[in-house]
């Protein structure tokens, strides 16, 4: 279920009838409509919102309005509200997107933003989007969203930002390009003429010009100050006295004036204003509950306040919800704390009453917020425990955790259910250490057999969750252990959860089973892991919980890939893609993953067309929805493709991004990002950071082996091979010898575990090591073994990404002719074609050939070959950019990379070299 | 930049800051600014002075200044040795 959106945040304030029109500013705003952004940056109380509401009421364009608050710093929530605001004027816009944004696990922001920008580009009419109170957001990710939007500004959209401080956007360059219209404090300051209109006409006073000049000077034309002046003067006879003492005082303008205004209110009204200042939003019933005085009726009083112009802002057309003008509200709250007859505990009582009202009305977050402000931990703890399941099943577990964090530790101490919920909230967020603390606490209620015992004093509100506590704790324990790589503990706790004595409900049992499956997977017991995950998938499928089944399909496919069964893995992905129609909610979340899996398989098999197609499908699906780890997997897959294209730098950046996106979870981390990066460094010929990685991981050729570290050890063997290249004679041979012994042990382990994927790679590395030793015979034997295993499954990338040394071996294998099985020769030929390998002159390419003339160390990507072809046809950089629909900058990046890979410094040299390598079509 | 940590004891040395704003604020605003000392000057300015644990706390105080629409004139770090030893430090909400 989705979290509700507050309609009041989307309400555009209507202009006050008593407001002063300011034509000079409205003209300035109108002129700014030609530009991308209008920025109103001015201090609190300058009249920003009032001006905007007047301006927009005059205009004829549709206006989407969004009032921001502190919670909008979450970029997903911000996006959701932005789309909802736009829908108030273009109802069909981003419908799909909004559902996605409100789902428990929304896809990456960048993807959703692209969709939104594309939809906005098709707007049939101009739309003004207003973001009011932007200063409250304070969030670089949200700034980033706006920066992106402004960089690709849809032509019909105009953005207005009202804020107390400059937003973190590239304002200077927008100013320079004439894309920015600005109204700042100096513009919003009331002129003498405007002050006269406000005081004498709008507020109905009759002040002499000299008096107005005095007030304008004293308030410095500050809208809030002038307004309070008018309220203080209304119905007053001693105007001269007021003017004298106000202008003679050095006191802060608002401080002085608020006192004047409050002093003139009836006692009941004064109390109402102060008491209700603790509320972010006000409605009659809520005010009744908070003020708790039958003599003061909430709705009627709100009406009276609005009529008296006491800074009350309506939040809807029905005049149901209001808020105080921010500055006025702040001043009231400050006064509330100073009331002599209202000590601190009374203020807490106000918050407690607000919390109770929100609880009854089902607004759980607000109830938690006021319980925290009431410093009432008992209440906060109770509300938290009761709301967890609903908050967890929506996307609000982060907010839930934030409020529970305000509880004194002692309050979690004797609450086993809350403590377990809190532990799960930490697990969801990947904070394993914090989770451990609260699990340990909850476990005090378990006896030696880890069943519930009644000895400890206990506070439980959600009684129905108490009897399943042992199972829930065991599951959390198992999850935690698996995320920490403690396999024995994973198995132990999953077993406890499955203990028949607990008679756990089927879903909890199935959760335990799949955790067991993950443990088998980590231990390298691939068949047992496959069975467990397939069992879980079957159970959830039969019970109609398709989301779980689809989300776990990748596990089955990945295990088959590790077993070297690429075709079976592809079949699994395809089978699951057919399990439900594309618009099924569960399918919408899983489809991006399934397509991504197919893309990577196609890539491995050298089918670039299919890989591109699946990648595109994955990306398109992800715009609708995806699972929580999709951004991480997407970056990893992109890095893999960049690596194959020889774009090392881009691949390394993507891996860093993937590392940032990684959330610790129970799926075994079999290919640590640091190890993938070390491989890329080696491909770059950058030995130092690869060696530093090996040292930091404490890797040695004599290490005990495990499946979890297999990838690291294979990478370490690569480091040894690379180091050997830099040594001659005995030191080099010693390194190769160490590598060969490590590879032999890795091979034995992989064979024992039935991991054909690893076996092939190890055989290739062994072949390269023998070749480096000059033992071509053995090199070719290993290669033949690898080819025999790989041929039926159609591996391509595993071979050709190894680059020239392996290509030379393949060429040597191929040229050995009739001594090799025909099937393998054909496969070998296919690999050489895929690698665009051109032997240097003779058919006797051997391991000792330099390869310098023969082939490139880094192959050109398809795009780079395209650019080179166009250079050969004589196109200038500008013409290239136009032809390929890319920027001039990108063209330059491509040419620089081409020069680097070809080892040339000019266009003519590049074309000559390209022709020599047979890369160019004849013109 | 003076270092924020005492080199020998490892204890954090609280920095004392003084924020100067236009207009005289009543001393009752002290709570609003986390218990900082409020003093006014004869030329119509207010000094908000006190110990600040770190930069984040200082920025929080500056935001309070912004949200009241006060005109910020200066922010200075004072030498605690030279200042009054009884300077209050901001209290967190839970301690109040």
Helix locations, A5-139, DSSP H: 23-32, 48-58, 75-87, 95-101, 109-121
Which tens digit of pLDDT belongs to each residue from A407-442?
Answer: 988 888 889 999 999 998 888 777 889 999 999 999
Give the Cα separation of B8 and A757 in Å (integer): 56
Contact, A579 vs A546, CB < 8 A? yes
The interface predicted TM-score of the complex, written ipTM, equals: 0.71
User: Using an 8 Å Cβ cutoff, are A442 and A464 in contact?
Assistant: no
**DSSP per-residue string spanning A713-762:** HHHHHHHHHHHHHT--HHHHHHHHHHHHHHHHHHHHHHHHTT-HHHHHHH
Nearest CA in chain A to B30: A334
With an 8 Å Cβ cutoff, is A326 touching chain B? yes
Strands A157-163 and A127-132, by their bridges, are parallel
CB pairs under 8 A between A and B: 55
Q: What is the spatial distance between Cα A556 and Cα A538, in angstroms, rounded to a whole number?
A: 12
Instruction: Specify the length of chain B in residues.
Output: 96
Write the secondary structure of A162-185 as one string of H (helix), E (strand) and C (coil): EECCCCCCCHHHHHHCCCEEEEEH
Contacts of B23 in chain A (CB under 8 A): 250-253, 255
CA Rg, chain B, in Å? 14
Q: What is the pTM of this model?
A: 0.62
In terms of Cβ atoms closer than 10 Å to its own Cβ (0-12, 13-18, 19+), residue A62 is: middle
The pLDDT value given to residue A818: 61
pLDDT at residue A817, rounded to an integer = 64
Phi-psi region of A394 (alpha: psi -120 to 50; beta: other; left: phi over 0): beta
Name the 3-class secondary structure at B29.
helix
CB distance A446 to A490 below 8 Å: no
Look at residue A535 and give its three-state secondary structure: helix
Site of tokens 């030191």: A731
Q: What are the tokens at A359?
A: 């609880």
Residue A93 is predicted with a pLDDT of 83
A377 to chain B nearest CA, in Å? 12
B40, containing H or E segment:
strand B37-40
Number of H helices, E strands in chain A: 47, 7
> What is the pLDDT at residue A92?
82
Q: How many C-beta neighbours within 10 Å does residue A379 have?
A: 20
Closest residue of A to B24, CA-based? Answer: A251
Contact A374, A366 (CB under 8 A): no
Q: Which residues of chain A, if any, have pLDDT below 50?
A: 1-3, 841-855, 923
- pLDDT for the residue numbered A918: 67
Q: Is B96 on the interface with A (CB under 8 A)?
A: yes
B32: nearest CA partner in chain A: A334
Of B24, B32, B44, the CB nearest to A334: B32
Minimum Cα–Cα distance from A255: chain B residue: B25
Instruction: Judge contact between A809 and A780, C-beta under 8 A.
Output: yes
> Which pLDDT score is estimated for A545?
73
DSSP A463: G
Q: How far apart are CA A469 and CA A66, in angstroms?
A: 43
Does B69 sit within 8 Å of A45, measured CB to CB?
yes
- Which chain B residues in 74-93 lie under 8 Å from chain A, judged by CB atoms? none
B31 touches chain A (CB under 8 A): yes
Which of A 160-189 lie inside 8 A of B, CB atoms? 164-165
**Cα–Cα nearest to B96, from B19, B46, B30:** B30
Q: What is the pLDDT of residues A26-55, one digit of tens each?
A: 999 999 998 999 999 998 888 899 899 999
> What is the model's pLDDT at position A104?
55
From the number of C-beta atoms within 10 Å of its C-beta (0-12, 13-18, 19+), residue A429 rates as middle
Nearest-angstrom CA–CA distance, A59 and A686: 62
**CA neighbours within 13 Å on the CB side: how many for A901?**
23
User: How confident is the model at residue A595, as a pLDDT?
Assistant: 94
From first to last of its 96 residues, chain B has per-residue pLDDT tens of: 444 443 333 345 578 999 999 988 888 888 888 889 999 998 889 999 998 888 888 888 998 898 888 889 999 988 765 544 444 554 443 333
Which of A689, A608, A688 has the alpha carbon at shortest distance from A652?
A689
Distances (CA, A) of A266 to A205, A294, A296: 21, 16, 12
B contacts of A250 (beta carbons < 8 Å): 23-24, 40, 43-44
């Amino acid at each position: 279920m989705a979290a509700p959106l507050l309609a009041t945040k989307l309400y555009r304030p209507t202009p006050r009838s008593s407001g002063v029109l300011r034509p000079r500013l409205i003209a300035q705003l109108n002129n700014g409509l030609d530009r991308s952004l209008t920025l109103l940056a001015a201090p609190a109380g300058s009249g920003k919102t009032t001006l905007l509401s007047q301006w927009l009421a005059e205009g004829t364009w549709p206006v989407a309005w969004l009032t921001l608050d502190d919670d909008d710093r979450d970029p997903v929530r911000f996006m959701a509200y932005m789309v909802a605001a736009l829908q108030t004027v273009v109802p069909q816009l981003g419908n799909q997107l909004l559902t996605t944004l409100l789902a428990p696990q929304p896809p990456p922001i960048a993807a959703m933003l692209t969709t939104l920008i594309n939809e906005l580009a098709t707007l049939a009419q101009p739309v003004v989007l207003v973001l009011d109170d932007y200063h409250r957001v304070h969030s670089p990710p949200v700034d980033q969203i706006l920066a992106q939007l402004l960089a690709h500004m849809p032509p019909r959209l105009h953005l207005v930002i009202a804020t107390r401080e400059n937003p973190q956007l590239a304002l200077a360059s927008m100013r320079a390009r004439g894309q920015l219209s600005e109204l700042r404090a100096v513009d919003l300051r009331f002129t003498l003429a405007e002050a006269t209109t406000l005081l004498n006409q709008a507020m109905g006073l009759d002040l002499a010009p000299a008096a107005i000049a005095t007030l304008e000077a004293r308030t410095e034309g500050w809208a809030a100050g002038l307004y309070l002046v008018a309220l203080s003067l209304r119905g007053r006879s001693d105007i001269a006295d007021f003017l004298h003492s106000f202008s003679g005082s050095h006191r802060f303008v608002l401080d002085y004036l608020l006192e004047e205004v409050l002093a003139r209110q009836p006692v009941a009204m004064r109390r109402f204003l102060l008491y209700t200042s603790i509320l972010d939003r006000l409605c009659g019933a809520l005010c009744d509950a908070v003020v708790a005085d039958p003599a003061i009726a909430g709705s009627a009083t709100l009406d009276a306040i609005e009529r008296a112009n006491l800074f009350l802002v309506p939040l809807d057309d029905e005049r149901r919800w209001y808020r105080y003008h921010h500055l006025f509200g702040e001043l009231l709250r400050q006064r509330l704390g100073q009331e002599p007859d209202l000590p601190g505990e009374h203020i807490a009582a106000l918050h407690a009453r607000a919390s109770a009202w929100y609880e009854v009305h089902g607004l759980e977050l607000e109830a938690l917020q006021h319980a925290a402000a009431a410093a009432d931990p008992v209440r906060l703890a109770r509300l938290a425990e009761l709301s967890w399941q609903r908050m967890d099943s929506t996307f609000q577990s982060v907010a839930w955790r934030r409020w529970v964090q305000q509880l004194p530790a002692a309050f979690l101490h004797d609450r086993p259910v809350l403590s377990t919920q809190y532990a799960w909230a930490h697990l969801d967020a990947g904070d394993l250490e914090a989770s451990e603390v609260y699990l340990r606490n909850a476990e005090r209620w378990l006896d030696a057999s880890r069943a519930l015992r009644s000895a400890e004093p206990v506070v439980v509100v959600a009684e129905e969750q108490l009897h399943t506590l042992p199972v829930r704790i065991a599951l959390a324990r198992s999850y935690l252990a698996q995320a920490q790589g403690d396999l024995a503990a994973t198995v132990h706790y999953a077993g406890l959860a499955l203990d028949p004595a607990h008679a756990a409900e089927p879903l909890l049992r199935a959760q335990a089973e799949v955790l067991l499956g993950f443990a088998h997977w980590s231990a390298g017991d691939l068949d047992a892991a496959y069975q467990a995950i397939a069992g879980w998938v079957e159970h959830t499928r039969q019970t109609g919980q398709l989301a779980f089944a689809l989300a776990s399909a990748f596990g089955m496919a990945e295990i088959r890939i590790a077993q070297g069964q690429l075709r079976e893995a592809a079949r699994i992905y395809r089978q699951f893609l057919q399990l439900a129609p594309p618009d099924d909610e569960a399918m919408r979340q899983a489809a991006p993953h399934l397509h991504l899996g197919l893309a990577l398989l196609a890539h491995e098999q050298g089918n670039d067309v299919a890989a591109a197609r699946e990648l595109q499908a994955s990306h398109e699906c992800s715009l609708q929805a995806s699972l929580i780890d999709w951004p991480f997997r997407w970056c990893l897959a992109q890095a893999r493709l960049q690596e194959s294209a020889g774009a090392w730098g881009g691949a390394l950046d993507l891996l860093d991004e993937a590392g940032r996106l990684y959330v610790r979870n129970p799926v075994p981390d079999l290919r640590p990002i640091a190890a993938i990066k070390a491989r890329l460094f080696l491909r770059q010929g950058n030995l130092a950071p690869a060696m530093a990685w090996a040292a930091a991981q404490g890797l040695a050729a004599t290490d005990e082996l495990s499946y979890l570290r297999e990838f690291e050890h294979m990478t370490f063997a690569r480091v040894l091979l690379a180091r050997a290249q830099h040594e001659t004679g005995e030191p080099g041979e010693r390194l190769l010898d160490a590598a060969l012994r490590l590879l032999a042990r890795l091979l034995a382990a992989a064979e024992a575990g039935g991991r054909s994927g690893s076996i092939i790679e190890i055989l290739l590395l062994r072949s390269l090591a023998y070749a480096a030793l000059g033992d071509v015979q053995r090199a070719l034997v290993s290669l033949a073994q690898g080819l025999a295993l790989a041929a039926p499954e159609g591996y391509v990338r595993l071979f050709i990404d190894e680059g020239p040394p392996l290509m030379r071996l393949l060429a040597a294998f191929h040229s050995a002719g009739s001594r090799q099985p025909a099937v393998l020769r054909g496969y070998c030929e296919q690999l050489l074609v895929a690698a665009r390998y051109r032997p240097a002159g003779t058919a006797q390419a051997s391991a000792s050939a330099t390869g310098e003339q023969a082939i490139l160390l880094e192959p050109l990507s398809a795009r780079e070959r395209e650019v080179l072809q166009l250079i050969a046809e004589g196109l200038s950089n500008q013409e290239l950019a136009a032809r390929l629909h890319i920027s001039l900058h990108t063209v330059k990046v491509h040419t620089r990379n081409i020069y680097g890979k070809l080892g040339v410094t000019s266009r003519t040299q590049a074309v000559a070299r390209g022709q020599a390598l047979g890369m160019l079509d004849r013109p | 930049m003076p270092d924020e940590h005492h080199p020998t004891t490892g204890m954090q040395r609280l920095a004392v800051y003084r924020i100067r704003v236009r207009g005289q604020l009543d001393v009752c605003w002290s709570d609003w600014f986390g218990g900082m000392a409020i003093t006014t000057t004869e030329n119509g300015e207010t000094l908000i002075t006190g110990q600040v644990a770190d930069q984040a706390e200082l920025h929080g105080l500056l935001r309070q200044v912004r949200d009241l629409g006060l005109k910020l004139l200066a922010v200075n770090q004072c030498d605690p040795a030279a200042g009054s030893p009884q300077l209050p430090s901001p209290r967190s909400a839970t301690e109040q």
